[in-house]
Structure 1
Amino acid sequence: MNTLLKIREFDAHGGPSNVKMGGDGHAQTSTTVGRFVIKSIEKHVSYGKYAAWSGIAWGTDIRIDGGVVMVKFNGSWKKLTDVNAQWGKYKNDQKGVADAVLKYQRTLYPDSPIPTKWLFNDFGHVSVKYFKDINKDRKMNGKEYIMGDFIHTTPTDEAATASRKIFQLAESHGCIHVKPNDIDTMIGNGYLKKGNTIEVHPYTKKAIDASHKRDTAKLPFEVHFYPGIYKIAIYKSI
């Protein structure tokens, strides 16, 4: 039996307790409850419904030449409209594409109105992805798969952090939103690390446990998300 003692807390915000439609036209679902194993820590690139702003990795070089948005994609400069089908729909409206990118940049970074880096990815500068370990071998295999719920930041919160503004985390579409500085701290301290455990508690739980006992492999840390009170707690194995 592994005993875990709480050592840190961080703000976090998951999806709503009941499904509803988000302002972007995509459904907001609750964050999936359970115990999971971290598979990867990486910049997320989306190929599905978020492929417009999130089809390009955070921090990718960007420039605007003659009113055309260019991005450094796979080592060479390409028109944004040549990157994927989402942007390709607007290949005959380069001015409209440039206007949209400039508007977003100026909304997020009014003091830096011309973008040089892609800071629009919906999943922020890093995402922590995890899977349900059905066969308990702590490896993703068989029918196991990466969950649709990630731990990540948002472009709005990244911009607020860059300008040192105080902000509140917004409700997600099912992922776990955390603050940019906090995700860096959790990764840097080894709390969020490939192979570590993440546990998502029920929304009905309204208090953070001081300790846990788990019949699992003894790893240095576990990360526990309490969606009902918007907190992540870090537990150390003793």
Structure 2
Amino acid sequence: MASYSITKINEYDAHGGPSSEKPGGDGHAKTATREGRYVINSIGKHVSYGKYAYWSGVAWGTEMRLDGDITMVKNGGAWVRLTDVNAQWGKYKTQQKQVTEYIRQQYTAISNSKAFPNRWIFNDFGHTSVKYFKDNNHNWKLDGKEQVLGDFIHTTPPDEYLTSINKGSQIKLSESHGCIHVKPLDIDTMIGNGYLKKGNTIEVHSYTERMIPVSLTRSIARPPFEVHFYPGLFKIAIYRVSIKK
């Protein structure tokens, strides 16, 4: 059986969920980022249809405008009312002015500006998300009863805004609900360098680990790169993979 040597070549700041479950300020529980080895299934903008379907029910960067007091978004190439996007926003179809005021308040909270945004910058999962699954049969593809986890690698709206005004150095990554938060420029770099790529491995380590190893050995791996998250150290380490001779 082949054995693989993985050698650390880079690292980035990252923040997962708490080591034990606790309430989140938004009414959703914060849970630990799940330990294990996973395979990346997809990379792209995330749209929620469940409990996060208010702010995350619209893709990051979607065009916005006002039609009087009505918030409009470009959905599928056509301008529609925000309250027509999904059932959650649809609850407020008769309260268009209040919806628009709510959008203004949210934008002010992020940007400290009272202007109305021209792009949707409220999606909790940022401009791109990396989704992964437990590859039970080790064939590097999603099949059988395998499912994509609810833990993603993604950015957050406040960090995206700081990056957009060239203040990325001020970012202090926040604790997640179980996902892995990273900086916007870092996720772009990891994608651009091929570290985060469909089919690559992500390994989430134990919260108790207090050192990032320079090298590791794995019996199942695939070149050229693996991404390892150390939640207790708030770091992602990038490893180069090679067959052990």
TM-score (structure 2 length as normaliser): 0.95
Is 1:49 paired with 2:66? no
Which position in structure 1 is the counterpart of 2:110?
108
Residue identity matched to 1:232? I
Residue identity matched to 2:236? I
Q: Determine helix, strand or coil for the equivalent of 2:112.
A: coil
Which position in structure 2 is the counterpart of 1:186?
190
**Pairing of 1:157-172 with structure 2 (within 5 A):** 157-165=159-167, 166-172=170-176
Q: Distance in 2 between matches of 1:84 and 1:183?
A: 29
Q: Distance in 1 between matches of 2:180 and 2:241?
A: 23
Name the CA shift for 1:124/1:60 in 2 (closer, same or farther; >3 Å).
Answer: same
Q: Determine helix, strand or coil for the equivalent of 1:64.
A: strand
Deviations 1:179-218 (A, max 9, x none): 0000000000000000000000000101101111111243
RMSD over equivalenced CA pairs, Å? 1.0
Could you tell me which of 121, 124, 147 is aligned with 1:122?
Answer: 124
**Pairing of 1:26-45 with structure 2 (within 5 A):** 26-45=28-47
Deviates more, 1:186-195 or 1:97-106: 97-106
Structure 2: unaligned runs, 5 residues or longer: none
Contact 2:104-2:114 at 8 Å conserved across structures: no
Is 1:219 paired with 2:223? yes
Residue identity matched to 1:55? G
**Pairing of 1:66-215 with structure 2 (within 5 A):** 66-110=68-112, 113-165=115-167, 166-215=170-219
- Cα distance, 1:111 vs. partner? 5.0
- Cα distance, 1:141 vs. partner? 0.6
- Cα distance, 1:105 vs. partner? 1.5
* Number of residue-to-residue matches in the alignment: 238
Deviates more, 1:181-190 or 1:209-218: 209-218
Q: Distance in 2 between matches of 1:38 and 1:11?
A: 19
Tell me the percent identity.
Answer: 62
Q: Distance in 1 between matches of 2:221 and 2:179?
A: 26
Q: Distance in 1 between matches of 2:190 and 2:175?
A: 20
Residue identity matched to 2:173? L
Structure 1: unaligned runs, 5 residues or longer: none
Name the CA shift for 1:232/1:82 in 2 (closer, same or farther; >3 Å).
Answer: same
Deviations 1:99-127 (A, max 9, x none): 01111122222358221110100000000
Q: Determine helix, strand or coil for the equivalent of 2:160.
A: helix
**Runs (4+) of structure 1 moved beyond 6 Å?**
none
Deviates more, 1:5-14 or 1:105-114: 105-114
Is 1:21 paired with 2:23? yes
Q: Distance in 2 between matches of 1:154 and 1:145?
A: 24
Residue identity matched to 1:173? H
Residue identity matched to 2:194? G
Q: Distance in 1 between matches of 2:112 and 2:68?
A: 22
TM-score (structure 1 length as normaliser): 0.98
